[in-house]
């Protein structure tokens, strides 16, 4: 069951079938293919958008040359027509790095998809913040690697909702390290996308800002939905009122307010349902209250630390916890200590090629 509070339903994930081809395998517990198609149509009849996400933690897309780009466009377009998806969500968490051919080929391929589908084509992006805001502190490799994609598709982009979780923090434009799970993280990251910024600590290429109605932020729906970066609905509401009305801010305050700020993305609808809609209901209320002419500013107590929330009861952890490698924090993959970044899906060999990165896996 999908809560009525959601406006866009992102179906995860398309699969990489090689040579640029993208497939989609329906979960066996989701019912028949015909019923799934009917469910999509029913959501759309209620005014919802339903899009297919590409990538994810364990997924990828191959776009190394013209042939793969051609296959990508044809296969994705075929899936849109078959299932009735409104468009795609780009959640590429591996295989994206500065200078790789996938960047230009993805831009060209998505533009071709837009031409085939028409103006109704919905394009969203859900990059992790090292691929976006990470470009301020260091522009190279994965750091800021999504910025050319965002810039190249800004005219096609419906909405970008950066994932502000599972990666520690990022360097803000004033030089401070901003931690996930805070009002400052959600506000600061959003302002960087709307106001624009220069990479390499302000000394490099300038990413020009997006329209406010193209920008949202992504957070976990509950304590169990992600390893780190959880925020309470109160933190979300404060970030929203800060951006839209200049109220509820912490230490980062917008110079101008953005009443058309687009909204909130979360992982995931299923976790929200598991938590009895403890995320979607209050966040829906917070979003709806922003547009009221009689908006009354809530009273907030500013804090620069992550707000605490009572976690639901869970099965007690074993008394003997696995040992962590020194300097790895909670990471079990490739770890970058300055930002507490843990790169899931990287191999020990990939990690070893990056200076200052530490392999924390088995």
**Percent of the chain beyond pLDDT 90?**
75
Instruction: Check whether 308 has a pLDDT greater than 50.
Output: no
- Kindly report, residue by residue over 169-182, the tens digit of the pLDDT: 999 999 999 999 99
For 319-350, the pLDDT digits (tens) are 444 455 666 777 788 776 645 666 665 677 76
Instruction: Count CA atoms within 13 Å of residue 170 on its CB side.
Output: 36
pLDDT of 309 strictly over 90? no
Residue 131 has phi, psi (to 5 degrees) of -80, -10
Residue 186: pLDDT band with limits 50, 70, 90: very high
- Any alpha helices (H) in the chain, and if so which ranges? 33-45, 66-83, 101-117, 134-137, 147-152, 183-195, 199-202, 233-245, 269-274, 280-290, 348-352
Confidence of residue 236 (pLDDT cuts 50, 70, 90): very high
What does the pLDDT read at residue 312? 39
User: Taken in order 80, 83, 89, 93, is the CA torsion positive or negative?
Assistant: negative
Maximum alpha-carbon separation in the chain: 57
Helices (H) and strands (E) in the chain, counts: 11, 15
Lowest mean pLDDT among 1-5, 91-95, 316-320: 316-320
48 has a pLDDT exceeding 50: yes
> What pLDDT is recorded for position 297?
52
* Amino acid 337: pLDDT: 60
Q: Is the dihedral of CA 228, 162, 93, 1 positive or negative?
A: positive
With a cut of 80, say whether residue 93 has pLDDT above it.
yes
DSSP structural state of residue 231: -
Q: Which residues contact 179 (CB under 8 A, 6 or more apart)?
A: 168, 169, 185, 306
Token readout for 140 is 């190279």
pLDDT one-digit tens code per residue, 199-210: 999 999 999 999
In sequence order, the β-bridge partners of residue 11 are: 52
Mean residue pLDDT of the chain comes to 88
Instruction: Provide CB contacts within 8 A for 63, sequence distance 6+.
Output: 20, 69, 72, 101, 102, 105, 106, 109
Domain boundaries, given as residue ranges, for the chain: 8-290, 316-362
DSSP 128: B
Topology of domain 8-290 in CATH is TIM Barrel (3.20.20)
- Residue 314's pLDDT is what? 39
Mean local confidence (pLDDT), 273-298: 82
| pLDDT exceeds cutoff 60 at 61 | yes
Q: Residue 197 — φ and ψ, nearest 5°?
A: -165, 160
Question: Is 317 assigned a catalytic role?
Answer: no
Question: What pLDDT score was predicted for residue 335?
Answer: 74
CA distances from 318 to 16, 67, 94, 226 (A): 37, 51, 32, 20
What is the pLDDT confidence band of residue 354, given thresholds at 50, 70 and 90? low
Task: Supply the pLDDT for residue 359.
Answer: 82
Residue 190 dihedral angles phi and psi, to the nearest 5°: -70, -40
The answer, yes or no, to whether residue 235 has pLDDT greater than 80, is yes
Across the range 43-47, mean pLDDT stands at 97
Give 128's strand partners: 163
Catalytic residue from among 68, 93, 128, 180 = 93
């Amino acid at each position: 069951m999908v809560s009525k509070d959601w406006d866009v339903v992102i179906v995860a994930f398309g699969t990489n079938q090689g040579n640029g081809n993208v497939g989609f395998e329906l979960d066996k517990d989701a019912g028949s293919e015909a019923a799934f198609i009917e469910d999509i149509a029913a959501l759309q009849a209620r005014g919802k958008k339903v899009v297919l996400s590409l990538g994810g933690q364990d997924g990828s897309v191959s776009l190394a040359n013209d042939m793969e780009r051609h296959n990508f466009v044809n296969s994705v377009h075929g899936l849109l027509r078959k299932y009735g998806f409104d468009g795609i969500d780009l959640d590429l968490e591996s295989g994206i790095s500065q200078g790789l051919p996938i960047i230009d080929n993805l831009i060209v391929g998505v533009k071709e998809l837009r031409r085939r589908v028409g103006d109704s084509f919905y394009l969203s992006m859900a990059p992790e913040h090292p691929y976006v805001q990470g470009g301020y502190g260091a522009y190279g490799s994965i750091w800021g690697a999504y910025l050319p994609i965002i810039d190249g598709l800004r005219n096609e982009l419906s909405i970008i909702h950066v994932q502000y979780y599972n990666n520690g923090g990022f360097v803000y434009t004033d030089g401070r390290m901003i931690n996930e799970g805070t009002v400052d993280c959600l506000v600061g990251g959003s302002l960087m996308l709307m106001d624009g910024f220069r990479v390499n600590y302000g000394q490099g290429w300038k990413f020009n800002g997006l329209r406010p109605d193209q920008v949202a932020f992504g957070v976990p729906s509950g304590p169990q939905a992600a390893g780190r970066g959880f925020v309470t609905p109160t933190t979300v509401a404060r970030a929203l009122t800060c951006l839209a009305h200049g109220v509820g801010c912490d230490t980062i305050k917008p110079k101008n307010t953005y009443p058309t700020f687009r909204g909130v993305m979360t992982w995931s609808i299923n976790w929200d349902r598991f938590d009895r809609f403890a995320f979607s209901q209050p966040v829906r209320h917070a979003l709806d209250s922003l547009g009221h002419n009689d908006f009354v500013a809530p009273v907030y107590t500013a804090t620069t630390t992550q707000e605490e929330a009572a976690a639901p009861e869970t099965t007690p952890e074993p008394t003997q916890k696995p040992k962590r490698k020194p300097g790895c924090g909670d990471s079990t993959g490739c770890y970058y200590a300055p930002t507490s970044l843990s790169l899931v899906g990287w191999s020990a060999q990939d990690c070893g090629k990056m200076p200052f990165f530490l392999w924390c896996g088995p």
